[in-house]
Amino acid sequence: MSQATVLLVGFGITNRAVGAQLKARGCRVIATDDAADGQLRSQAAALGVDLRERPAPDDWPDLVAGARAVVPTPGLPESHLALGAAAAAGTPVVSEFDLAQRWDSRPTLAVTGTNGKTTVTLLAAAMLEASGIAVRVAGNTETPLVEAIADPQCDAFVVEASSFRLGHSRCFRPSVGAWLNFAPDHLDVHASLSSYRGAKAALWRRAGEHTTAVVNGDDPVVVSHTPGRGRVLTYGLSEGDYHVNGGALWAESEKLADIAELRRSQPHELSNQLAAAAVAMAGGAHLEGVRTAMATWAGLPHRMALVAEHGGVRYYDDSKATTPHAVCAAVRSAAPAVLIAGGRNKGLDLSPLAEVADGVRSVVAIGEAASEVERAFAGRCPAVPASSMDEAVGLATERARIGDAVLLSPGCASFDWYGSYAERGDHFARVVRAMIGGSP
């Protein structure tokens, strides 16, 4: 691609890393951005990237026609004019994954799924590290894959593979690819549920005889996309190559861990640990490395994190749960619960929340989607709106009984009240601790 012109649509973290790598390889880079500021302009100038701000609709055909390839920023809506112009001009749209694999031949272990991607990615990386294999975690993280490949010291890359990146990948073929689950999500970006599903399925689209697919046997959508080529490893809570039996986790006939000894042992957490073990062992981890990482795994911040226990009530921060699917898993783990849910809906149908209504004593609905949350539980359990996190925690505490959990598991994005799910979860924790005054 040397001397070619490449068009970057959006100039955020990922495409800045893409731009740097393309410039280092002699390409001309044009970037567009609808929210450019002084800092972004300075970064573009430092990289030698031609930054075009806020292109008009009529500008896209010419921008695309002059490019060898188009690289969209992760999360660019499928309806964006740049993608339509690229299709009309026959200009290929590629992802950072495509470029990274073109430039580096080291193994990639990729993890996708509606929920659990970050957990499985980080745990699999820990298992590999404990086995003496140097890895970098990349992808849908703070480090794009095109940036991670600049590290000459690592043996492999463990990649959190979002639909945003997979959906635009043309030739990405990971050495190991795990698909954890499927449920509606990101319909504010993908044109339809079918399109979102197709983006996830792209993980295995190019599977070959030297690739390994890690398949969640408990998810029928995932199973229906099992590739017909290459090695297949299955996992599940009852059946699979990696499974649960007799109070323990197993890799075929090898015991990985007794559940009673694990720090995280709810059903969805056990499923994630089985998936991570399958990914890591397919990537070369040994049993002792897997066991060591499992024994010390404490979970992720903002994912069913116990904030406090007071007056016989447990308070959990599950702010990372931004889909109904994730909320349902959390409620099943914590029931009976008083649920704090809502925020900015990502174009999803929230009615599946009613599936766990029997485990919810009461609902406190927050944010822009408060009325949608209330409708989801109408006739199933009491629901009340709150106009702030302080009010939400107070109302939830009033409704909780001894033995209950107060569970912040929003099922929505955070961007109505907060800058991130982490900020939302941190605020929830501060409010809880202030309310109980540091009492045990």
Please report the pLDDT score of residue 440 as a whole number.
Answer: 43
Both 28 and 9 in one domain: the answer is yes
Radius of gyration of the chain (CA): 23
Position 311 scores a pLDDT of: 95
Domain CATH number, residue 105:
3.40.1190.10
CA distance 275 to 25: 37
Q: What pLDDT is stored for residue 356 in this prediction?
A: 97
Would you write out the chain's pLDDT as a tens digit for each of its 440 residues? 657 999 999 999 999 999 999 999 999 999 999 988 999 999 999 999 999 999 999 999 999 999 999 999 999 999 999 999 999 999 999 999 999 999 999 999 999 999 999 999 999 999 999 999 999 999 998 899 999 999 999 999 999 999 999 999 999 999 999 999 999 999 999 999 999 999 999 999 999 999 999 999 999 999 999 999 999 999 999 999 999 999 999 999 999 999 999 999 999 999 999 999 999 999 999 999 999 999 999 999 999 999 999 999 999 999 999 999 999 999 999 999 999 999 999 999 999 999 999 999 999 999 999 999 999 999 999 999 999 999 999 999 999 999 999 999 999 999 999 999 999 999 999 999 999 985 44
* Both tokens assigned to 59: 């500008």
pLDDT at 2: 57
Among 70, 93, 116, the domain boundary falls at 93
CA–CA gap between residue 299 and residue 288 (Å, rounded): 19
Q: Out of 240, 264, 296, pick the residue that ends a domain.
A: 296
What's residue 355's pLDDT?
A: 96
**Bond before 92 cis per omega within 30 degrees:** no
Same domain, 290 and 309: no
Check whether residue 83 and residue 231 sit in a common domain: no
Are residues 283 and 187 part of one domain? yes
Residues 143 and 84 in one domain: no
Domain count, the chain: 3
Cβ–Cβ under 8 Å, residues 9 and 80: yes
Domain that holds residue 318: 305-436
Q: What is the structure's pLDDT at 1?
A: 61
Longest dimension (CA), the chain: 68
CATH of the domain at 323: 3.90.190.20
- Final residue of a domain: which of 249, 265, 296? 296
**In this structure, which amino acid lies at residue 11?**
F
Mark whether 344 and 409 lie in a shared domain.
yes
Same domain, yes or no, for 320 and 267?
A: no
Whether residue 209 sits in one domain with residue 291: yes
Question: Hey, what's the torsion of the CAs at 196, 200, 202, 208, to 10 degrees?
Answer: -160
pTM: 0.91
Can you read off the two tokens belonging to residue 164?
A: 């945003």
> Which CATH number is 49's domain given?
3.40.50.720
Q: Do 195 and 272 belong together in one domain?
A: yes
Whether residues 103 and 187 share a domain: the answer is yes
374 and 246 in one domain?
Answer: no
Do 107 and 207 sit in the same domain of this protein?
yes
> What is the model's pLDDT at position 439?
47
